Structures are given as C-alpha cells and as structure tokens.
A and B are shown apart, each in its own frame.
Chain A
Amino acid sequence: MTSARSSFFAAALADPHAIAVRHPEIFRIDWATRAKVVGTVVVSFGIAAAAVVFLDIEWQRVLTGFTRLGRFVAVMLPPTYGDTDKLVLYLHAMLETIAIAFLGTLLASVLALPFGFLAARNVVAQKLIHFVTRRGLDAIRSVDKLIWALIWINVVGLGPFAGVLAIMTSDFGLFGKLFSEAIEAADQKASEGVVSSGGGHLHRVRFGLLPGVLPVLIGQVLYQMESNTRSATIIGIVGAGGIGAHFQEQIRLNEWQHVAFLTLLMLITVAVIDYVSTKVRFAIIGTDKLNATH
C-alpha cells in the first residue's frame, strides 16, 4: 500500500506537466481574480505614492528625523522622575487622569441610557425619532474628545473638570449607539411574556428588556474605561487636566528621561485599569457572555 502510494507520487512528481494536462480545471489560471488582486494592490500603492507626493514627504527629512529620534531614545534611558516633589506631582496628575476617565465614562453611560432606548427600533417604533437620535449621536461622536475639551474649557475653565465633561460628551455619542444596538439585539421572548401577561410599554422595557441588556451594557462601559484612561492621559495637552500637560511640558523642556518615565507611568496605569475592568466584567457577566459582546 505504502509503496504503491509512494511510487504514485514519484511518478506524479517526475512529470508535473502531465498532471496539469490531465486536470486542466485545477491548473487553469483565474485571470479575473488575479486582475482584481493585482488591481487592488496597484491602486492602494498608487494612492500611497500620491499621498507621499502631496504631503511633501522627503526621504532626507525622514532619515534625519529618525536619527534625531534615535538620539532622543538614547537619552531617555534610564527613565527618571527627578526629585520627590516631581514624583508627587506626577502621581497626583495620574490619579487625576484616572478620576477623569472614571467620572467621564460613568456620566456618559448614565446620560446615554435613555437615548439608547430612544434610538432602539424595538423600543421606539417612530422612525423619525430614532433617525434623528442616531444621526445626532453620530455627529457628537465624530467630534474628538480634545475638541470637546476645548469647548468645555470655555464653560468651566481650565482643569480636570473640563476633561471629565469632554469624555462625557464624546462617549455619550458612542454609548448611545452601542446601547441602542445591544437593546435591538436583545432576546424578545421576555418582552413578549410581559406583554402577554398584561404589562404596558414601560413594564415591557423595565422588566422584559432591562434585566437582559443591563449586564451587556455594563460590560461595554467597563471595556470603554480602558480606552478612556488612554484618552485622559492626553487630554491635558489642551489644558483639561491629567498627566498630559506634564508630558507636553517635559517634551518642550527636552527632559527626555522624564518623558520616558511618564510614558512608563501611562503604560502601567492603562494596564492596571485594563486588568481591573476585565476582572469586574468577568464577575458581572461571566466568561461566555464576555466573548459574545465583541
């Protein structure tokens, strides 16, 4: 058996051309697919080349830039925070960052909850209402947190409170969209049960929908916590509190060891927040549902 097989392979390999003749449908070149693939590659490289020209990117500048960057990285080591006063300042700014992220996320989710229901097709059947709500949420979301921070600074002045409000505003748009999608994807059986036993519309939402979707929504909020911690680390560059202001200042002062220390601090904080929020998510919704939310 084995020898028959190996001799078959030997014969096949001795004359690959014969196989091609015997099975033309396998060896036929699929020009249409190939043209599509080659076309996509050529177009994407073409746009990239055009972008390089239009953006005026010179290789000389890229090279000198990278050598300068290499020098910065060299002087970044070892990372340091200078004296204890600076360390206290940095750690305080980091706690401020966490506070901004937490409060911003919490406020956004509380505000977005009613709008999530309003934008969900299975709660509000009125087409106009959920069209307007959805587009409004989209518009809010497409303005970046830093821009919202600049606007809120005009209202409450410089400082972390403006950062909290900026994250709240931007994520209000995001959560509204995510929540409405989660509510639309919810199992309708419980709602039907409530209605069939004589419950009204609000009963249906409160007892039929809310218990099912709430863990999913909390999962999404916790997931966003990590991303918002990262946003809160940079929101300080426009004066809205947190570690970002120090980061920017140390770059201006050419204190690269401090920049490296602040970067490490950011990385550790984000990792810790990520770890904690994942743990809490596991505790609330369990492992099986956790994977289903993504």
Chain B
Amino acid sequence: MRTSLATVPALPPLRLAQLEGQYAGAIGAKRAKTFVGLALVVGMIGFSAIFGEVDLVKFFSHITAFTSYIGRIFVLDSGPHSGQLTIADPVEWFWGIARWSRLIGETILIAYLGTFVGGIVAFFAAFLAARNLVQSQVVLFIVRRLLEFCRTVPEIAFAMIFVVAFGFGPLPGVLALAIHTTGALGKLFFEVVENADLKAMDGLTSTGATWVASVRFAVMPQVLSNFVSYALLRFEINVREGAIMGLVGAGGIGQDLIEAIRKFYYSDVSAILVLIVITVSVIDLATEALRSRLISREAGH
C-alpha cells in the first residue's frame, strides 16, 4: 500500500495552490448560488405563510382532529354493529351501494363522453396547430391560443359556468371535461404530429394529393396509436375529475360525497371514498393494460 502511494507523483506546490484556489472558487460560487436560492425560498415561505394565514398553533392543537376524523369515518353510526369498525358489518357500511354504484357508473360515463368529445375536437385541432403541416401563422396562433385557454381554466370553473347555462345534471360536467380535454389532448396531439416523419407526406403531395388526403394517408397512420394512448391516459384523469363534478352540481358521485361530508354521515364518507379509490384503481389498471398492448403492437411492427 505504502509503496504504491509513494509512486504517485506529488504536484509542484505552486500548481497545487493554483488548483486548490480554483476548487475553492468553484465550490464557493456553487455555495453562493445555493445560498441565494435558499434565501429566495425562505422569503417566499414568509410571504406564503402570511397570505396563506398559516397558524401553526391551531394546526398542532387541532392535528388530532385530522387523525380522529380519518378514524371516525371508519366507524359505523347505525345498525346492530353501531360504534364498531365499519369492516364489522360491510352490508351496513355499504347500505347505499345500489345508488352509489349508479352514480359511479354515471361518473365513468361523464368521463368517457368528455374524453370522447374532447378527443375528437382535439384530433382535428391538432393538425391545424402543427407547425410542420400548417404554414399560416394566423391559423397556428389562433388554434394554439384557444387550446391554451381550454387547458388553463380548470374543469370545475367551466362546470360552474355551465351549470348556470345548462342546468344541474351530468350535461355541464360532460361539457366541462370535454373542453378541458380538448386543450390538454390538443397540445399532446400536435406535439406528436410535429414529431412525425414528413417524407411520406412529401411523397403524397408530389403525386398531386390534396392536403387533407396527404394528412390522412401519410401522417395519421404514424400518430394514431400515440393519440389513442394519450386519450386513454386522459380518460383515467377525467374519471378522477368526474368524481368531483358533483361538488358544483355537475353530476356523478361527488354530489353524494359532499353531502355526506357536510352532514357528517361519517361511515358514508369512507364508503364513497373507498368506492372512488377502487374505481380509479380499476380504470387505472385497465387503461394501463390497453396502453401497454398498444405500445407493444407498435414495437412489433
């Protein structure tokens, strides 16, 4: 060990000092940057704590209310097993299963229809927003800004406005999800189109095919499986969103959930939440399986 170390040539002291100086300088610069960053974060925390009305005393004196609330919703309020854990009497726990499953079904259909309509609009918008297919800067600008608007305004904000225009029920929920989906999918879709290989498009255009025909036969076959994959992903997100549409009266399971929370029907809260978590997981797994089949088929070709 010692001999091998001895063979390592020592740097001349002057050079060593120079290198050490450079090292200290680099580390110092990095530390200074980190320090400035931390100072900014601390400043933001201070600002946020004031505007967010953070009250740590209240938080820590009430934190047991959170854990006890979570515990409380898993205790039955009525029936022969009243006062016991919900798991003791699943029939009593899920007493409203018939109504709730209908509402869960409604939620899924709202999500499906919203994804379907939004996906179709996004499909057409994507080709008009793709830089490699459209020359007109005006068309690009308008379509892109519209898509941006659709995806920046939250679904539930659209839902609140639509509830006033269309009345209570699933319809405003479907439309709100459809508009947000148009914005979100439109962006993902046109990015896919912009990454498509345009050689086939050139070939078709050179034979005198119209723009629509060229897009149909040269671009669509390349992008369609990606589109479907993104749409399935969005469907999963929309099921989650669909579950809260009822909070503003736009249909689905949310209506019963907010009522149960506001009126302190404790065991109903947990029952509905369990149903939502199960539904979301099942949809999650199903779309995941479909997507991986789609992708493996793509890779096989």
Where the two chains meet, the residues of A that have a C-beta atom closer than 8 Å to any C-beta of B are 44, 47-48, 50-52, 54-57, 61-62, 65-66, 68-69, 72, 92, 95-96, 98-100, 102-103, 106, 138-139, 142-144, 146-147, 150-152, 154-157, 159-161, 163-165, 230-231, 233-234, 237-238, 241, 244, 247-248, 251, 259, 263, 266-267, 270-271
Which residues of chain B come closer than 8 Å to A103, judged between CB atoms?
45, 48-49, 52, 54
Whether A142 contacts B258 by the Cβ 8 Å rule is no
Whether A159 contacts B66 by the Cβ 8 Å rule is no
CB distance from A209 to the nearest CB of B (A): 19
Nearest B residue to A37 by beta-carbon distance?
B224
Surface stretch bound by A, among B15-23, B126-134, B209-217, B241-249:
B241-249
Whether B106 contacts A54 by the Cβ 8 Å rule is yes
Whether B52 contacts A100 by the Cβ 8 Å rule is yes
Q: Which of B48, B66, B169, B243 has the most CB of A within 10 A?
A: B48
How many residues of B are counted as interface, with CB atoms below 8 angstroms from the partner's CB atoms?
62
Which residues of chain A come closer than 8 Å to B280, judged between CB atoms?
142
Whether B53 contacts A241 by the Cβ 8 Å rule is yes
Which residues of chain B come closer than 8 Å to A151, judged between CB atoms?
66, 69-70, 261
Question: In residues 197-254 of chain B, which contact A (Cβ within 8 Å)?
Answer: 240-241, 243-244, 247-248, 251
Set B65, B109, B160: member contacting A248, Cβ < 8 A = B160
Whether A237 contacts B247 by the Cβ 8 Å rule is yes
Whether B51 contacts A96 by the Cβ 8 Å rule is yes
A106 to B45, CA, bound (A): 9
Dominant secondary structure of chain A at its interface with chain B: helix
A241 to B53, CA, bound (A): 9
16 contacts between A and B (CB under 8 A): A48-B113, A57-B170, A65-B172, A68-B166, A72-B161, A99-B52, A106-B41, A106-B45, A138-B281, A142-B240, A144-B241, A151-B69, A161-B54, A161-B59, A165-B59, A233-B154
Given known pairs A65-B162, A72-B165, A147-B257, the reply for A139 and B277 (CB within 8 Å) is: yes
Whether A65 contacts B44 by the Cβ 8 Å rule is no
Whether B162 contacts A237 by the Cβ 8 Å rule is no
Dominant secondary structure of chain B at its interface with chain A: helix
Nearest B residue to A36 by beta-carbon distance?
B297
Q: Which of B116, B165, B169 has the most CB of A within 10 A?
A: B165
Set B157, B162, B170, B261: member contacting A247, Cβ < 8 A = B157
A55 to B252, CA, bound (A): 10
Nearest A residue to B64 by beta-carbon distance?
A155
A62 to B240, CA, bound (A): 24
A160 to B59, CA, bound (A): 13
Nearest B residue to A93 by beta-carbon distance?
B51
Whether B261 contacts A61 by the Cβ 8 Å rule is no
Whether B166 contacts A156 by the Cβ 8 Å rule is no
Indicate whether B75 reaches chain A with its CB closer than 8 angstroms: no
Question: In residues 94-137 of chain B, which contact A (Cβ within 8 Å)?
Answer: 105-106, 109-110, 112-113, 116-117
Whether A231 contacts B49 by the Cβ 8 Å rule is no
A285 to B79, CA, bound (A): 58
A64 to B134, CA, bound (A): 35
A237 to B48, CA, bound (A): 20
Question: In residues 241-288 of chain B, which contact A (Cβ within 8 Å)?
Answer: 241, 243-244, 247-248, 251, 257-258, 261-262, 273, 276-277, 280-281
Indicate whether B47 reaches chain A with its CB closer than 8 angstroms: yes
Set B48, B113, B244: member contacting A144, Cβ < 8 A = B244
A244 to B160, CA, bound (A): 11
Whether A56 contacts B154 by the Cβ 8 Å rule is no
CB distance from A231 to the nearest CB of B (A): 7
